Amino acid sequence: MVRNVVVVGTQWGDEGKGKIVDWLTEQAQGVVRFQGGHNAGHTLVIDGRKTILRLIPSGILRADVACYIGNGVVLSPTALLGEIDELQVAGVDVPRRLRISGNCPLILDYHVALDRAREERKGADKIGTTGRGIGPAYEDKVARRAVRAQDLFDEARFAERVREALDLHNFVLTKYLGAERVEAQAVIDGALRLAPRIKPMVADVSYELNQAMSRGHRLLFEGAQGALLDVDHGTYPFVTSSNTVAGAAAAGAGVAPQQLHYVLGITKAYATRVGSGPFPTELTDAAGEELRRRGNEFGSVTGRPRRCGWFDAAALRRSVQINGVTGLCVTKLDVLDELETVRLCTGYRHGGTVTDILPFGADAVACCEPVYEDFPGWKRSTFGIRDWAELPAQAQRYLTRLSEVTGVQIDMISTGPDREQTILVRHPFSV
């Protein structure tokens, strides 16, 4: 029987991972965030009440489930404590159940300043980041100048590392980007004021996860963003700053790859994308606007409208390949309920040939012309349905074809935002 499950987005993010992680946590003892920062929002709806999580794992709303932030996450102390305070007001005791890897790089004020100044300088060619400092923080990590959570325990070392980093970053900000400098002492004082609240949650997360597994605990590994935004495998350079694929769970949490037993790929019944970058099936007409309206396709963290389009099986096929997806969860099926015709992209015309898989790199993807199959709409509500047999026949046909062209079994279907509005075909923990 499967013990650990990795949940990843298979599109460009915003697939509904948070709800599914929360649903699966009923049979898990721990949930682990393994990459990303507070630029990704996970929306949970439980008994009609909406909660938006950004850094804290989506298992936090289940009593007595341990939550971990792995070393692959870049951590904003301000955003973390703000999110904790929101949850505490709602009656959720976060500090007792949250463990943060001491190896997490911190996002500090100068990372935010760099992120925003770069995007402003790029103008129309900007990547479309959230301006929250995630990319610059990952750059510092790779350059071996990151200030990490464990540095909060040594004030002198913390101050030294901040000043060293700012020697470089202030030069870039003022001399190259034409922005204002960031004062080191203000950064140091601000972070150290927050440190007493963060220190009790800092731990050796890798060790604790391996200890939990030795006791037979089931763990969920929760990704942020989507596989097509992976810094190596996505539509580069219009990608995020970390590895979003399932394999990153091992490195980003400190567990062995063979401890990742099942990969659940989350995909919408259509496609969306936020920010810049190629999007072969994008709809810029009334149909796209209708999907946006019915799906409430606005960022849970940023409020930015999402670009909407038809389901792209060629893109999903790439995600299946790079993630080793075991089973799919299709979300937001109900958004398609009123459409006369539903289209499914099975491949692309590209360079005079037809291909059935998303090519690498933004330039190649931008040249792809989608090849579609059309399906009659079911014109019946699927909202809240909890049994496959109750789905309209045309909806079943669409989902069956989606599974066929992507080569992966559909194990779950989400028919609404609430925890209970879920169809289970095959439980990831029982495969």
* Catalytic site positions: 14, 42
Q: What's the one-letter identity of residue 312? A: D
Give the integer Cα–Cα distance in Å for 22 and 80: 19
Structure tokens at 367: 């040249």
Closest CA to 254 of 220, 207, 323: 207
Distances (CA, A) of 332 to 46, 329, 412: 16, 10, 12
Q: Are the C-beta atoms of 187 and 155 separated by less than 8 Å?
A: no
- Rounded CA separation 288/307 (Å): 8
Phi and psi, residue 55, nearest 5°: -110, -40
Largest CA distance in the chain: 66
Secondary structure tally for the chain: helices H, strands E:
12, 18
Contact 128, 274 (CB under 8 A): yes
CA distance 216 to 223: 22
Residue 23 CB partners (closer than 8 Å, separation 6+): 419, 422
Alpha carbons within 13 angstroms on the beta-carbon side of residue 20 total 36
DSSP 293: H
Q: How far apart are CA 397 and CA 403, in angstroms?
A: 10
Could you tell me if 336 and 342 are in contact, meaning their C-beta atoms sit under 8 angstroms apart? yes
Closest among 162, 163, 228 to 195, alpha carbons compared: 162
